[in-house]
Structure 1
């Protein structure tokens, strides 16, 4: 990357949504829902390749965009209220309810482990931690290099799963790079030759994953185990080398995907502005279908047809969960105002200009006034 540019110093939010970013959120959310749905079929070669391809860059993509949108975070009162209402509260609600549902069907986890996220709520915890540490990445001289070293080294030590810290530290470079992206850098990705190369790159990656993924250990894509523990069982050098390869692949495929995101407003722009609800809600549906009706196990006997049908249904459900009615119903739940919880921040008042000092007088003017007064 070129030398880092100064990050914004204003905490004021942008006045309107950027179509490109909402389009990017839409497409990556489709990958998230499809990837989570195909998790049930990873034993099948027809699904494993697509699963590995999606997991090699869908979270790096999502995290880099999240880092870019956090560029103005400095920890003022408005931003702290926003974090609590859109990250802390939804995390507690989603993680508690999903663990209760899972325990109802399987008996686990027992006891509940609310601060140890079991599935999709980990990303809310990650955004919370990354956002709070943003001032650090703003202040460091070499933030990207530092974040990469942390990601490579964290797999060498035992890190408790409190707030999904192993994944938070593993994925950290994508967030920090996102913080230091600029609109100009995104625009460079739209060059025709870059887009052509991106199509070839993503297509080749999908083909490679489809052909060779049956020999790969997919747990590397979860970014949470120590290198030397099961099922990774790697030495320190092997672990750091594998993590470095995943970082490189994640960045390359993420930038390739970003180059193909449409810049203009469309239906996907409006849907992409409501991905928050889709992300939180789709997990409930997948868990319910699997634990209550055993749907994925029952249809797996249809092989490739089951994978195609599941992918289509995942796309349909994702689009439905990004519609306006869903947002209207669940906004009070997942984005509560919580006015009762926070202090009233005094409205900013316009500073009063100091009085204008009198104009300097000439000796003649001064003498005339003095004589008149006497």
Structure 2
């Protein structure tokens, strides 16, 4: 060993025993015990323990002008806390420093320091030991890890059963919390389910279950700019800015949003209507085409099946299929409001519902093959799904309450 114990132990300023401290940590990293490392560098074993675990009695020492730091450790990178940073945290905690002060000294976020203390302190006495914390952090870091779904057969079977029934991952996760409220090992977030399906090689869920997702994709789709809208007609329209303000907060039922989902080569279509307050869905059967007259007649037939107080207005985009909106309003006394160009979010409920319906009516297929009875069955199944935005009630339940009232 090249280190030599100094014979002159006169006060060395604010960084006391700096060389000894650096040599002590080097020896500990090589596997020496704290007592043996203290003996080799010529300090009392209690001093070595205080270097390793933090100062136990801050009153015995005068606070240094600048916080001390242990020598840099090769374990981890700048993204992760290093061992010398954990030693600094332990020292400052024993000096009763605040988390924000410690974070400022380390150049870290206060949440990083707070989370480090919470996750890696002793589970029984609550004290923070830096070397034990470093060992726990190193043990958690290796990848890959066995996922929660793969290690729990009951959880995996529950998720697979709901995916077979075309439930979304978020609906499944809420059902897990409702079914097993006292079993946290059965609780996952929806991102965990997506990861089990998307990430290859994990083998947590059957690969073919991807087809049960709304999108049917086996990987994430990158976000892109909104596509251009269909050509718009230039006839007098009442814009959405003139729609009553009560429609915006969804407090009053009867405000509907509508659109078409288009089939193969634009030759077929199905009309969709969604009530903003309850998210209740109704489908329009258009077997003869999607001209303005066909859409108008289907709308008139459909809205006349509802109570008058549940049909107050209709919001549509500027598609050519609504060219006959004037005659529709004359026949039903229901005003039609049009969205601004290239603004699909102004009919957000309808756009979301159209995405759900694509699970039943995929793009590029002939939609004339679906009968009105089949459309009614699809709408009933969609209205029977629990919705997060409704407090996990179904649209059918929410509409039934309105009708009963």
TM bucket normalised to smaller? under 0.3
Higher strand share: 2
TM-score of the superposed pair, with normalisation by structure 1: 0.21
Higher relative contact order (CA 8 A, sep 6+): 1
TM-score of the superposed pair, with normalisation by structure 2: 0.20
**Structure with bigger gyration radius:** 2
